[in-house]
Amino acid sequence: MDLYLDSADRDALAPLLATGLFRGVTTNPLILQRAGVRLPEVPSLVSWLLASGADEVFVQTTAADADAIEREGHALRDLSDRLVVKVPATGPGLVATRRLSAAGVPVLLTVVYHPNQAVLAAAAGARFIAPYLGRMTEAGRDGRADLRTMARALAGTGTGVLVASVRDAAVVPELAADGLEAVTVGTDVAHAMFAEPLTDAAMVQFDAATAALR
């Protein structure tokens, strides 16, 4: 499973990217706002992320109509050949995704909630979809079951599933066991993935034994 970080906070991202365990970083307008990153500062953020260990960076378009989304997508892609353009799963977003994909621009169709949208994303040539697991579950849907349906529907299409809105670190290995290929998590969830009290307790014993052997 490929692991991504869902943040634009440089201080929070730096130590996690330095581990080399996270393939890249995903952002959206809400994430940028929380980190105090304004749209004119996005190119600088992208450069910093790529220099800090991210192999891929995802940046979302903000326009509403297909033509404007397409133009914005090309402008974002011009920032780096390691940038993936995120496009919301609206009607105009799907039209723009088809055009961008046909032009060789990798697109992630985001805020996906239903398997129908997964099928449309594949028809549009999207590289990824980003289903919002936490929000799906909070809306009363069986998010995990819908994700499995999406993954089966997309098998062999060239469109992958990058699960977003993951609230709990314990869900990540369950998603991997379900065969999901990628997940993006907030930095708090990422840190929680490293935490294991039994490992910490064993290390205390190992350290004591090592001291006694000197």
Catalytic residues: 86
Strands (E), 29-119: 56-60, 83-88, 107-112
* Residues whose CB is less than 8 angstroms from the CB of residue 62 and which lie 6 or more positions away in sequence, other chains included: 29, 39, 72
- Residue 150: what are its φ and ψ, rounded to 5°? -60, -45
Non-local (6+) Cβ contacts of 143 within 8 A are: 131, 133, 134, 136, 137
Structure tokens given for 214: 């000197």
- Scanning the structure block, which residue is given the tokens 């404007």? 68
- Please spell the DSSP secondary structure of 112-159, one letter per residue: E-SHHHHHHHHHTT-SEEEEBHHHHHHTTS-HHHHHHHHHHHHTTTT-
Question: φ and ψ at 74, to 5 degrees?
Answer: -65, -40
Q: At what angle do helices 91-102 and 115-123 cross, to 10 degrees?
A: 30
